[in-house]
Amino acid sequence: MAKAAAYRLPTDRPHVMGILNVTPDSFSDGGRHAVAETAIAHAKAMIAQGADILDVGGESTRPGSDPVSLDVEWSRLDPILDKVIALGTPVSIDTYKAEIARRACAAGAVIVNDVWGLQKDPAMADTVAEAGVHVVMMHNRPQADAGLDILADIDRFFETSMQLAERAGIAKDKQILDPGFGFGKTIDQNFIVLNRFETLKKHGLPLLAGASRKRMIGAVLQAETADRLYGSMAVHMTAMLKGASIVRAHDVGPHADCVRMLEATLLERNPT
């Protein structure tokens, strides 16, 4: 656990979290990296393109996906996790199951990315605290409700997640919030969240934005999943300008370029 204890999320600039799905049914890249050799090669490519963090997932968490057992999820992760961690870039485990998180952190993962914000598995908060790792606490709902005040709902959810983290002993500087673009929200609600993204800073924690290739982009651009790169970059650049510390993306290289241009602009320095 020494590596987890030593890791601190840098605050000098937004960071790019590259997505590594080892699943057959993820909405964007399901099945593409399910073979260990392919997954490792993709991880290396993302690092070369500028990934600051690799987010590894063994179960699709897209809305409407079928849940898988702990054993199935781990069987997808086990052949590749040690090898990805050995590449030296900080690794996040994308899971809402405490036992998967425990195993991944024991292997060297330094972030748990929980799409249910510590509220799905009652053992998750204690597991994260014991491992001494960072945690991404994402807002989620079982289904969208068009009549809901989505920002108020996110605030309530975050308060519950932060209380669970505090009671378990997760240090404040290891907590990260994610409003959950595409999860339990209508298209309009996703854009309300984006337009008010800066208001989420009131919770006093780093913010993650993860809209890569999502339906909210396809709805505006009338573009299929594979053709949503530019829309993803537009959403993420907006979120970074409004305070996002991390953007979670399939296309690492273009997003790393966005970060460099944003950094140069905000520091008013010559990028050359």
pTM value is: 0.92
| Count of residues in the chain | 272
Q: How far apart are the first and last CA of the chain?
A: 39
172 catalytic, yes or no?
no
Which residues, listed in sequence order, are joined to residue 57 by a DSSP beta bridge?
21, 94
Catalytic-role residue among 76, 102, 185, 248: 248
Q: For residue 240, which of 265, 220, 215 has the smallest C-alpha distance?
A: 265
User: How many angstroms separate the CA atoms of 242 and 186, rounded?
Assistant: 21
The dihedral of CA 185, 187, 192, 198: what is its sign?
positive
Q: Between 3.40.50.300, 2.130.10.10, 2.40.160.210, 3.20.20.20, what CATH number should domain 92-267 receive?
A: 3.20.20.20
Residue of 97, 102, 141, 214 with catalytic role: 214
Q: Given its phi and psi angles, is residue 196 left (phi above 0), alpha (psi -120 to 50 degrees) or beta?
A: alpha
Residue spans of the domains in the chain: they are 92-267
Query: Is 214 assigned a catalytic role?
Result: yes
What are the distances in angstroms from CA 232 to CA 12, 44, 225, 235, 243?
23, 22, 10, 5, 16
Each residue's pLDDT expressed in tens, for the chain with a length of 272 residues: 446 657 888 888 999 999 999 987 444 444 454 578 999 999 999 999 999 999 999 998 777 778 899 999 999 999 999 999 999 999 999 999 999 999 999 999 999 999 999 999 999 999 999 999 999 999 999 999 999 999 999 999 999 999 999 999 999 999 999 999 999 999 999 999 999 999 999 999 999 999 999 999 999 999 999 999 999 999 999 999 999 999 999 999 999 999 999 999 887 655 55
